[in-house]
Amino acid sequence: MLTQAEFLQYAQWSGIATLLFAALTLLGFVLKWGIRFRLVGASGFMLVLTAGLFALTLAPAGRTVIPGAVRYSLIYDNGGAKTVITVLPQITPTALEATLRQAAGDLYSYGRLGMQGNNNLTIRARTIIHPEPGVSTPLYLGKVTRSLASRDDSEMAIEIYQDKVAQLPKSVA
């Protein structure tokens, strides 16, 4: 994955190429070349490309990895303030907390909308248990609530439902 510094270097080179195309376009208009309007299009394209590369230097491209987090799958996301992830039934409470922190970091986006004045993102973690053969039951294990206003939310509220975690099947070691 490219870093912000690499995107900045590419944006600089693209900016230089944009200026060269603009100068070539001006020269084409002064000398009345037949390709002058094509040069306008090429200059415009280079300008858009340069702006896009520069925009990639502003936002962090990488993601933070939380130690102890396990794989999860996103199963519901309304694009706003509510999401649900699923984890394996063999998860431990410490791994669940780390996974909720990981999901809160991964699913944060500037484009999410708070619903009805709620400026928080709520991520609920669930799993499926099988209390008896042929019966599947969803079991919500916990949730994390974080702010949609800032990427670095130091006041994330993580709630683990200990009574639900106790219902998980014990792993055979």
Q: Is the pTM of this model over 0.75?
A: no
Q: Are residues 99 and 150 in the same domain?
A: yes
Query: Sheet holding 120-132: strands in order across?
Result: 73-77, 82-86, 120-132, 135-147, 157-160
Rounded Cα–Cα distance for residues 150 and 154 (Å) = 10
Top-confidence residue, 152 or 75: 75
Task: Give a yes or no: residue 172 inside a domain.
Answer: no
Considering the domain architecture, whether residues 79 and 114 belong to the same structural domain is answered as yes
In a domain, 16, yes or no: yes
Residue pair 111/78 in contact by the 8 Å Cβ criterion:
no
Say if residue 53 is in the same domain as residue 89.
no
Can you tell me which residue has the tokens 């990427």? 151
Give yes or no: residues 118 and 153 share one domain.
Answer: yes
pLDDT beyond 90 at 71: yes
pLDDT for position 173: 45
How many domains is the chain partitioned into structurally?
Answer: 2
- Residue 115, pLDDT > 70, answer no
What's the chain's average pLDDT? 89
On whether both 81 and 50 belong to a single domain, the answer is no
Segment 45-57, tens digit of pLDDT: 999 999 999 998 8
Per-residue pLDDT band at 43 (split at 50, 70, 90): very high
DSSP string, 42-107: HHHHHHHHHHHHHHHHHS--S-PPPTT----EEEEE-SSSEEEEE--TT--HHHHHHHHHHHHHHH
Give me the pLDDT at residue 147, please. 86
Domain extent at residue 31: 4-58
**For residues 140-144, average pLDDT:** 95
Provide the 3-class DSSP secondary structure of residue 17. helix
Same domain, 51 and 81: no
pLDDT of 120 strictly over 50: yes
